[in-house]
Structure 1
């Protein structure tokens, strides 16, 4: 075999040739900028490889930031939930106070005559006796409360003072079976007596002749007779009139104007006579 053409320069010669060629290329590029276009193409060719090399690091960075953001969102969500609960509780208090304020305003602005002193009382307890409709309020003799004193809510007459203690009093509601109240019809001034039935939402009117001019929906006002309730305050509204010729009287039912099943604040009334008499009792 002829090995004459298989032999090349020796390794030292190759190194020298490589160094000389490299120096030449460096000088050529530095002086003449001859490889500018080539570098552009090489950078364009290598840039995808650089993106691929950086891709794992970018993915790890994005994943870490998402985990941090997710955890932060959990914390913010928990914080917002706690704040929402606190705000909801405060809103409930504000609504309760607003409702209480509205009830007090309506109570104080009720149609009480100018010459009558009035004072607000608050419900303390409800008598649990099923055969008696009585409540207890937080006013007593220390507040000049007296027996048979009229008691109203913001709609109409609710009852009268039955027993008086030093700091509280017992009120007999107008629907109690033992209570009766003289009234007159606002439309025609017909005088009647309304009595309790033992039900909070029902009154009866007894001994009414068949010839009496009554209509369903008639408003009944206090007549002032009996010197207990002042004249002209709403008491009830007639809801039912049954005329049975086999009975001597009409069967008449009415509904109290006062909301006896949802009492919270009540209004105590003093007339000028009551105020003068209580003053005399204090200063004999």
Structure 2
């Protein structure tokens, strides 16, 4: 038999194998057997423990990037929360600092108001409290505007003071506000008295380049020194006496002139003035006092006159009573 006649193809059994349905049935039976055996007899429990122990390092290695990602996210979220907490703390510190600044301002304002009340209590001149609104927009003058006017009883020429001393004088009065010309204005003038030597003089507003105020017409040999305190003399009939006005800043004596050049520094700073007292002009106050004294005198005179009339009436009635009593015995004797 020749080799070409041999059939080299495998038998049909080995060529085709198990059918798909047979494989499905075998694998399904095996799965059911394993599930029943594991559920009822725990046959695969040791194998599961061995596999879990063997796969644990691999699981940890595979979970390391996830853990690192989550740890990084937690760190970033923690940093964000810490930054937000820091910002919140900073905002609270700013608010606390603002409240502290307001408390300090209120304390300083209360101190100034207490000082104003002390001045008001010390002065016998009627006064009213006012607040400085703003500085007048005039580059050639020094004026401020207060929140009281003719409706509140403010009069032109009224002195304006604060806790440090004289601030200025009311020059214009409106219905609800008034303009106050400061002592540093070039047209301002106020009679002063040197508290150390009791020497009188007149202080004028000076040029801003030369100083806010100056004491003019002082003799070159006058007894005046730096640091002397000048107060109101009360001779002008406007300012009450004894109010602080300014201190002597510099004294310049030159041989070519018979007057000394005296620069003054006001005791009251207009830039720091917020609450002021508006006083009634001294002349008006004295006139009111004179009228009140005259009225009191007239009332006293009328009261004395009424008293004298009452006494005279009482004397007349007493005399009539005595005459009547004396006439009764005489009539009885005639009978």
Query: TM-score if structure 2 supplies the norm length?
Result: 0.61
Question: Offset of 1:125 from its aligned partner?
Answer: 2.1
- 1:66 matched residue in structure 2: 72
**Bigger mean CA deviation after superposition, 177-186 or 87-96:** 87-96
Give 3-state SS (helix, strand or coil) of 1:109's partner. helix
Please list, as runs of the form range in 1=range in 2, the aligned pairs for 1:14-53 lying within 5 A after superposition: 50=56, 53=59
Gap change, CA 1:56 and 1:266, over 3 Å in 2 = farther
How far apart, CA to CA, are the structure 2 residues paired with 1:264 and 1:98? 15
Question: Offset of 1:207 from its aligned partner?
Answer: 0.8
2:250 is aligned, of 212, 237, 240, to 240
- 1:197 matched residue in structure 2: 206
- Within the alignment, does 1:180 sit opposite 2:186 as a pair? no
- Within the alignment, does 1:220 sit opposite 2:230 as a pair? yes
Unaligned runs of 5+ in 2: 1-49, 292-335
Please list, as runs of the form range in 1=range in 2, the aligned pairs for 1:245-284 lying within 5 A after superposition: 245-270=255-280, 274=285, 277=288
How far apart, CA to CA, are the structure 1 residues paired with 2:228 and 2:153? 35
Conservation of the 8 A alpha-carbon contact between 1:220 and 1:234: yes
**Bigger mean CA deviation after superposition, 85-94 or 60-69:** 85-94
- Within the alignment, does 1:103 sit opposite 2:121 as a pair? no
- 1:33 matched residue in structure 2: none
Give 3-state SS (helix, strand or coil) of 1:155's partner. coil
User: Could you report, residue by residue, the CA deviation over 1:131-176 in whole angstroms, capped at 9, with x for unpaired residues?
Assistant: 2111111111222211111112321211011111121100010111
How far apart, CA to CA, are the structure 1 residues paired with 2:208 and 2:110? 26
- Within the alignment, does 1:211 sit opposite 2:221 as a pair? yes
Conservation of the 8 A alpha-carbon contact between 2:219 and 2:259: yes
- 2:63 matched residue in structure 1: 57
- 1:128 matched residue in structure 2: 137
Unaligned runs of 5+ in 1: 1-42
Gap change, CA 1:255 and 1:50, over 3 Å in 2 = same
Conservation of the 8 A alpha-carbon contact between 1:131 and 1:198: no
Q: Which has the bigger relative contact order, CA under 8 A and spacing at least 6?
A: 1
How far apart, CA to CA, are the structure 2 residues paired with 1:199 and 1:173? 13
Give 3-state SS (helix, strand or coil) of 2:271's partner. helix
Query: TM-score if structure 1 supplies the norm length?
Result: 0.71
Q: Which structure is larger by alpha-carbon Rg, 1 or 2?
A: 2
How far apart, CA to CA, are the structure 2 residues paired with 1:98 and 1:117? 31
Conservation of the 8 A alpha-carbon contact between 1:117 and 1:271: no
How far apart, CA to CA, are the structure 1 residues paired with 2:126 and 2:217? 35
More helix by share: 2
**Bigger mean CA deviation after superposition, 121-130 or 175-184:** 121-130
How far apart, CA to CA, are the structure 2 residues paired with 1:105 and 1:82? 34
**Bigger mean CA deviation after superposition, 54-63 or 131-140:** 54-63
Question: Offset of 1:100 from its aligned partner?
Answer: 4.2
Q: How many residues get paired?
A: 235
Question: Offset of 1:274 from its aligned partner?
Answer: 3.8
Conservation of the 8 A alpha-carbon contact between 1:104 and 1:265: no
Question: Offset of 1:179 from its aligned partner?
Answer: 0.9
Question: Offset of 1:250 from its aligned partner?
Answer: 0.9
**Bigger mean CA deviation after superposition, 169-178 or 222-231:** 222-231
